[in-house]
Amino acid sequence: MAAPAAPAAPRAVRNVVFVDGVRTPFGKAGPKGMYAETRADDLVVKVIRELLRRHPELPAERVDEVAVAATTQIGDQGLTIGRTAAILAGLPKSVPGYAIDRMCAGAMTAVTTSASGIAFGAYDVVIAGGVEHMGRHPMGEGVDPNPRFLADKLVDPSALVMGQTAENLHDRFPHLTKERADAYAVASQAKYAAALKAGKISADLVPVATRSAEHGWGLATADEPPRPGTTMEALAGLKTSFRPHGRVTAGNSAGLNDGATAALLADEETAAELGLPVGMRLVGYSFAGVDPEVMGVGPVPATEKALRRAGLTIDDIGLFEINEAFAVQVLAFLDHFGIADDDPRVNPWGGAIACGHPLASSGVRLMTQLSRHFAERPDVRYGITTMCIGIGMGGTVIWENPHWNGGDK
């Protein structure tokens, strides 16, 4: 009988870096939106190709995995979209791919899952991102929730309607008033408009050819959802969307949107070998569950968990990119951690209330913008990307600035 094999040597955890991220311009969902006649998988193809175009120092065959998220994985968002989009984008057929779903945090989970593979040594370079074409595939299309959710009272009926969960947050925290939510939304629009004027937004965008049977070919070069010049007076007059005399409106929420994102991640030594830039270093991440009927509070326990595991506190964080699914959800996070509604560290270029939230794609938008902030802010050492997630979850990723010059944060 042969002697048992010697145990494998312990693996060292490798440093994971965010090299770069790009996205399509975000469009309004629906028949009048700019992507109404554009396929979802073609949006993913555009962002993958753009990453490779921007980084000719990366041989395509060195990509070890393509992870693409979609919340509604049917039609042109189905068929294992990470693999099919990789083939359509021209990557070698030896490059594998897969699809992933964690609702709004799909792209965030694509990053954390594939980054874990890099840290373990299974990959050296990956592409991770997400897509959502809410015009073609409304959230919940084709799903069949188990009747026991309601029959056994496992969740409140409102848990399956995201806007109603935002109203529930207002109920639970009455000091988070509609006026505060509207003021936050106005500020998001203003910050986005200022960043756009300063040329901060366009650097992340890849132009997309669009087709319309009525209007012919076009080129999407800018986000469609923003409403520059939004005022408190205008928001005060909007109807509440999910409850009579409620507090959640189209003005203090992200809209229904179409778009795709992709990021390039690598082991830090591999990035150095290939000459790839380093935008951020991954410090840690956590996901946490909360009561589904108040899913918007999810970023709070997720952030607490991530900070605890990283040995950091909220005072160590110098920049925050928080997904603005609903203004009240951001306010709940800020209040919990004692951060002012207008703290300049939070979403410096505005957020999803202005530019849009194509569900599974948004996590990489947050990361890409944080990476851009880091490049301009060597005084900041740590930043986080965080978001609430449908069915009662939150996700937070902590990043370190490679350009940090030894300042306070």
Average pLDDT over residues 262-287: 98
Q: Are 364 and 204 in contact (CB under 8 A)?
A: no
The reported pLDDT for the residue numbered 12 is 85
CA dihedral sign of residues 331, 337, 342, 345:
negative
Q: Whole-angstrom Cα distance, residue 331 to residue 184?
A: 8
373 is a catalytic site residue = no
The catalytically annotated residue of 133, 137, 170, 357 is: 357
Task: Report residue 1's pLDDT band, with 50, 70 and 90 as the boundaries.
Answer: low
Average pLDDT over residues 170-193: 97
The catalytically annotated residue of 104, 133, 170, 373 is: 104
Tokens for 392, please give them.
Answer: 């009662």
The reported pLDDT for the residue numbered 2 is 64
Task: Report residue 225's pLDDT band, with 50, 70 and 90 as the boundaries.
Answer: very high
Q: For the chain, what are the domain ranges?
A: 16-137+253-398
Q: Which residues fall within 8 angstroms of residue 331, CB to CB, at 6 or more apart?
A: 173, 176, 180, 181, 184, 341
SS3 at position 258: strand
Q: Which stretch of 76-90, 151-165, 376-390 has the lowest confidence by average pLDDT?
A: 151-165
The reported pLDDT for the residue numbered 408 is 63
The reported pLDDT for the residue numbered 406 is 87
Closest CA to 108 of 402, 396, 401, 400: 396
Task: Report residue 215's pLDDT band, with 50, 70 and 90 as the boundaries.
Answer: confident
Around Cβ 142, how many Cβ atoms within 10 Å? 11
355 is a catalytic site residue = no
The reported pLDDT for the residue numbered 140 is 84
Question: In percent, how much of the chain has pLDDT > 70?
Answer: 97
Q: Are 41 and 306 in contact (CB under 8 A)?
A: no
Q: Whole-angstrom Cα distance, residue 186 to residue 231?
A: 6
Task: Report residue 409's pLDDT band, with 50, 70 and 90 as the boundaries.
Answer: low
Task: Report residue 116's pLDDT band, with 50, 70 and 90 as the boundaries.
Answer: very high
Average pLDDT over residues 172-200: 97
Angle at 361 between CA 336 and CA 81, to 5 degrees: 140
CATH superfamily ID and name for 16-137+253-398: Thiolase/Chalcone synthase (3.40.47.10)
Position of tokens 């060597």? 378
What integer best gives the mean pLDDT of the chain?
95
SS3 at position 261: strand
Strands 280-289, 393-400: pairing kind? antiparallel
Average pLDDT over residues 208-235: 95
Q: Whole-angstrom Cα distance, residue 100 to residue 113?
A: 10
Q: Whole-angstrom Cα distance, residue 213 to residue 130?
A: 27
Average pLDDT over residues 237-261: 95
In this predicted structure, the answer to whether residue 229 has a pLDDT above a threshold of 70 is yes
Where is pLDDT greater, at 319 or 406? 319
The reported pLDDT for the residue numbered 278 is 98
Q: What is the DSSP string of 111-174?
A: HHHHHHHHHHTS-SEEEEEEEEETTTS-TTTT----THHHHTTSS-GGGG-HHHHHHHHHHH-T
In this predicted structure, the answer to whether residue 103 has a pLDDT above a threshold of 70 is yes
Q: How many residues does the chain have?
A: 409
Average pLDDT over residues 328-353: 98
